[in-house]
């Protein structure tokens, strides 16, 4: 008697809710992506950030197609990414809310201008990356933004990181 090979999965056979639940088991850091739209700072909390390459230095962030940050990138603006500390949970929550006003999104968030890009960088972040937009690529129901890192800051610290795990924000030491 021979063992039967399992049938390959049928495209579209994975339920989106089950997939989302399974992915919630993957702990990820939390960051803020900033850019500009018509001269106004825009920002968004993300947990879908990854290093892509060391030569050249590239990172990738996944954005919802209606994100205001994406509007800036589509217009050719640079962007910055600030990796948040656990103490910056309020910033993550504020910038993760839908329906925030277009203007003054960073009014309650301490920040400074990145020297290389002029984009807003969250003060006291664990690390920050200033990026030149290299490519925007549709991927399912999101858009992948590939950025070349033109400047970064990463000071030694013992502050805990803000993480997203099982649908909640927490900290990792």
Which of the four pLDDT bands, split at 50, 70 and 90, describes residue 144? very high
**pLDDT above 90: residue 98:** no
pTM: 0.90
Go through the domains of the chain in sequence order and give each one's CATH number. 28-167 (2.30.110.10)
Q: Is the pLDDT of residue 29 over 90?
A: yes
Query: Which residue, 170, 144, 151, 171, is CA-closest to 160?
Result: 171
CA-based nearest residue to 127, from 147, 157, 90, 96: 157
Mean pLDDT of the chain: 94
Give me the pLDDT at residue 4, please: 74
2: pLDDT strictly greater than 60: no
Whether pLDDT at 89 is above 90:
yes
d(CA 142, CA 66): 9
pLDDT at 3 over 70: no
The answer to whether 86 and 160 are in contact (CB under 8 A) is yes
pLDDT digits (tens, 9 = 90+) for 39-83: 999 999 999 999 999 999 999 999 999 999 999 999 999 999 999
Within 8 A by CB and 6+ apart from 101, the residues are: none
Torsion of CA 147, 24, 93, 172, to 10 degrees: -90
- Per 3-state DSSP, the chain is made up of helix, strand and coil in percentages (nearest 5) of 15, 45, 40
């Amino acid at each position: 008697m021979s063992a039967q090979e399992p049938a390959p999965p049928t495209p579209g056979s994975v339920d989106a809710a089950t997939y989302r639940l399974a992915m919630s088991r993957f702990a990820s850091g939390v960051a803020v992506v900033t850019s500009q739209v018509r001269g106004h700072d825009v920002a968004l909390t993300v947990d879908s950030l990854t290093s892509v390459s060391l030569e050249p230095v590239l990172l990738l962030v996944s954005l919802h197609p209606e994100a205001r940050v994406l509007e800036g990138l589509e217009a050719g603006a640079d962007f910055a990414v600030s990796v948040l500390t656990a103490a910056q949970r309020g910033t993550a929550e504020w910038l993760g809310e839908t329906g925030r006003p277009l203007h003054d999104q960073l009014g309650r968030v301490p920040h400074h201008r990145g020297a290389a890009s002029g984009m807003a960088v969250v003060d006291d972040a664990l690390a920050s990356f200033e990026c030149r937009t290299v490519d925007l690529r549709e991927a399912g129901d999101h858009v992948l933004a590939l950025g070349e890192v033109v400047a970064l800051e990463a000071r030694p610290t013992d502050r805990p990181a803000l993480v997203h795990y099982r649908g909640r924000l927490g900290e990792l030491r």
